[in-house]
Amino acid sequence: GELPERLRSTVKRRNNVLGPGYALNYREPVEFVSGRGAHLFDRDGNDYLDAYNNVPCVGHAHPHVVEAVSRQMAAVNTNTRYVQESLVDYAERLLATMPEALSRVSFACSGSEANDLAMRVARFHTGGEGIVVTRWAYHGLTREVASFSPTLGAGSPLGPNVRLIDAPDPRLVPPGSSLPDYMRSQVRGAINDLERHGYRLAALITDCAHSSDGLFTDPVGYLRDMVEEVHAAGGVYIADEVQSGFARLGESMWGFSRHGVLPDIVTMGKPMGNGMPISGVVFRPEVCDEFGQNVRYFNTFAGSSIAVAAGAAVLDVFEAENVQQRVLDNGRALRAGLEEITRESPYVAEVRGSGLYVGVELVKDRESLEPDRVRADHVINDMRERRVLISGTGEAVNVLKIRPPLAFDAADVTRFLETFAEIAEMRL
Ligand code: PMP
């Protein structure tokens, strides 16, 4: 369709003023001026169903978060160089959601900053430099973190101290092996290769949902084997919970818990403040104490009163609205519906995921499993035309990425499935 004139003009002006690297979602871009729950509204008041954005986790413009931030903003905004009772309260509440051994938390402003600090601490603690990540991982945008984020393109090379392993896709496991054995042997191989090149291991870092790799959440358990290899080599395990944290996967507050492992460092961000820039790095004290005695850490905006107000308000809503149980229930219904709709399709290899994070892998046919990026692109844009927002993921961008605000309710599931069924009729 025709872009309305005002939107077309904004897109043009945008291209004249924004720096490099920006991209817009959808063939027909869209502008939103308000939101509620899992719904977004354009200037004409059209209601879009948001099945993509994980940052507004408790819902767009959630009144409790808005109120808490506004009240704090109107009172005062200070930083971590002053005593802030609210910061300490929040840190205690956040740590209470973790295993006891993870008992220190530092604050930052983005997932990238959190991973940057996590890796600095890992390097300091281990004295090593080697880093192991999955083949199509994204961990962030600073120079250090970009050096172990293979998704950033040819202009952003990996560090010589970085080794890639396959994501935990059960279909890659060689005959006679198992997923845990396969993942363990890949980690061992990467560590050996690093050592051959003079790099001792600093850290294995993985996204507990493997979002950019194409969303691999199950079966769980293999992480235990990977972490054992890492510890045997003197490295640390960093769980990147920027995507998988805050009950996204339904069964637990944190993705690593599903695997029954204890990370050395945990990073989190995106949904933490429902849109306020706040991220966190949680440590075992043994891993971070010496860093703290030798390196000063002050991050101007991190742990500010308003960031903490947002973070605490999110935890309030999690408790008051029983968010995790809702994620489990609605996620199950969403996946079951998608399985039902796509069961007969020759183009759908798999519906996978956990909680309110669902991937639908599109292929040219079920025998070759060759990725079908074009079909995925059509489905994503067809859904957008019917005002339902999703995206794509995986190296070939052939996995439909369905990752709504956790406020997605039963009526939203129904609307989503009705729209998806209409598109599937044409495309799948
Ligand atoms: N880690 C993961 C797993 C992510 O998905 C992202 C963002 N997509 C980041 C880190 C970086 O977070 P941010 O964009 O807040 O810097």
- Regarding the beta carbon of 115 and ligand 1, being less than 6 Å apart is answered yes
- Regarding the beta carbon of 210 and ligand 1, being less than 6 Å apart is answered no
- Regarding the beta carbon of 111 and ligand 1, being less than 6 Å apart is answered yes
Q: How does the average pLDDT of the chain come out, rounded?
A: 97
- Regarding the beta carbon of 54 and ligand 1, being less than 6 Å apart is answered no
Segment 70-82 mean pLDDT: 98
Q: How far is the CA of 303 from the centre of ligand 1 (A)?
A: 18
What is the structure's pLDDT at 276?
Answer: 98
Segment 395-401 mean pLDDT: 98
Asked if residue 222 has pLDDT above 80, the reply is: yes
- Regarding the beta carbon of 207 and ligand 1, being less than 6 Å apart is answered yes
| Residue 393: half-sphere exposure toward Cβ, Cα within 13 Å | 23
What is the structure's pLDDT at 77?
Answer: 98
CA-CA-CA-CA torsion for 99, 103, 109, 110, nearest 10 degrees?
A: -40
Could you identify the atom of ligand 1 that is nearest to the CA of residue 270? 15
Residue 207 belongs to what H/E stretch?
strand 201-207
What is the structure's pLDDT at 12?
Answer: 94
Segment 213-228 mean pLDDT: 98
On whether the CB atoms of residues 384 and 404 are closer than 8 A, the answer is no
Q: How far is the CA of 424 from the centre of ligand 1 (A)?
A: 31
Could you identify the atom of ligand 1 that is nearest to the CA of residue 269? 15
Of 123, 124, 126, the closest CA to residue 148 belongs to 123
- Could you say which DSSP state residue 271 is in? G
pLDDT-derived band at 153 (thresholds 50, 70, 90) equals confident
- Regarding the beta carbon of 269 and ligand 1, being less than 6 Å apart is answered yes
Cβ neighbours of residue 157 closer than 8 Å, sequence gap 6 or more: 147
Asked if residue 415 has pLDDT above 70, the reply is: yes
What is the structure's pLDDT at 3?
Answer: 75
ipTM score of complex: 0.99
What is the structure's pLDDT at 1?
Answer: 56
What is the structure's pLDDT at 413?
Answer: 98
**Total-model pTM:** 0.98
How many Å is the Cα radius of gyration of the chain? 22
- Regarding the beta carbon of 240 and ligand 1, being less than 6 Å apart is answered yes
- Regarding the beta carbon of 357 and ligand 1, being less than 6 Å apart is answered no
Q: How far is the CA of 364 from the centre of ligand 1 (A)?
A: 30
Q: How far is the CA of 188 from the centre of ligand 1 (A)?
A: 26
- Regarding the beta carbon of 419 and ligand 1, being less than 6 Å apart is answered no
- Regarding the beta carbon of 393 and ligand 1, being less than 6 Å apart is answered no
pLDDT tens by residue, 2-19: 678 999 999 999 999 999
What is the structure's pLDDT at 52?
Answer: 98
Set out the domains of the chain in order of their start, with CATH numbers.
32-58+322-427 (3.90.1150.10), 63-320 (3.40.640.10)
Segment 344-355 mean pLDDT: 98
